[in-house]
Amino acid sequence: MTDTTIVLVEVGALLFGMSLLGRLADRFGLSPIPLYLVAGLAFGTGGVLPMDASQGFFEIGSEIGVILLLALLGLEYSADELLRGLRRSKFAGLLDMVLNALPGAAFALILGWGPAAAVAVAGICWVTSSGVAAKLLRDLGRISNRETPVILSILVIEDLAMAFYLPTVSALVIGVSLLQGAYRVAIAVAVVLVILFVALRFGSTISRLFTPDLAEPLLLGVLGLTMLVAGLAEEVSVSAAVGAFLVGIALSGRVAQSAREVLTPLRDLFAAVFFVFFGLATDASQLPQMIVPGLILAAITMLTKVLTGYIAARRAGIGRPGRWRAGIGLTPRGEFSIVIAGIAGSTAPMLAPLAAVYVFITVIGATLLARLSDTAWFRRVTTAKKKVAADQ
């Protein structure tokens, strides 16, 4: 077979297999992300049947997947909503960072991975998967629950923080001097602030560049602008993902709504490719060494996420069951954790395998725990605790 034929066969077979995995995940009420990672690990370096010919396709597809993931996430918020969420949940955001990023950094240092890897693992543990968290809220019918705004506010703060965090990680990975690193981060921060300012002041003007009634021109225009800004952002040391996120924020009204509709199928395709490529690029033979560390790290930081959500919901006046639901809803890690591991994989040889194990455990664990909080047993236990506290 020719090289092109081999690529088509490998890509087609893997995409078809991913479709079956997606159906399997849906049958059990799970996110397909862990299964996509497993598929990539099975056919990547150290897997059962390595696919070498299609690596280039999946690498480019994964870059597009990251851009679309963050662009669609940005389309969920307006610039005003982003700033309101930031002001409303400053304490919760700070608590979230302290309780979740610091254990991750300490864990990396205990493993002897050094400061750059410690910053990366801090981010991997810090950021909740917005995609998985939103899916759980939808699947369990909790969109209108009182604790849901608490969850969403924390997610907004994390997403905005990534705009400043990712350039910092990139500078550390490159290994530039302290002065050069500060200069690169300062440029990145300035660019992010400028784009946010443009989104706030001229978002409606940017939205008028597109028509929400013509699907094809809207798809091509929004995708083109997103990739253009993402590429320019990367050129000035800002993550392409952050550039895409900020483009999403700049669009508003019917344009944003219609853009979500036309881009979602494309996002789903390339996001799946992104998770598969991370698995393909990770040496599966190293995974067994990271199972125990991944379990320990997941157990610690899932507990700290539950504590984060519980405290934030309590400050918002939410009842005890809602506090537990808020905490559990924040436990899954996913897209950003994989993005960070992809950027910083060179800082420690075992970072990517740890991230794969960690994401797998937290997504599966969050899905099971979220359903546990709806059981009569869980409600009875939390209500009993509340009554005991009242009696005392």
Cα separation, 45 vs 52, whole angstroms: 9
- pTM value? 0.78
Cα separation, 164 vs 350, whole angstroms: 25
| pLDDT above 50 for 114 | yes
pLDDT tens track for 201-236: 777 788 888 888 888 999 999 999 989 988 887 776
pLDDT grade, residue 310 (50/70/90)?
very high
Is residue 53 within 8 A of residue 7, CB to CB? The reply is yes
pLDDT tens track for 173-195: 776 555 666 676 677 677 777 77
Decide: residue 119, CB within 10 A, 0-12 exposed, 13-18 middle, 19+ buried: buried
- Asked if CATH classification 1.20.1530.20 holds for the domain at 3-282+290-374, the reply, yes or no, is yes
Which pLDDT belongs to residue 305? 96
Which pLDDT belongs to residue 297? 96
Angle at 117 between CA 152 and CA 312, to 5 degrees: 25
Please name the amino acid found at residue 44: G
pLDDT tens track for 36-86: 888 888 887 766 777 776 778 888 888 888 788 778 877 876 666 666 766
Tokens encoding 120: 């990366």
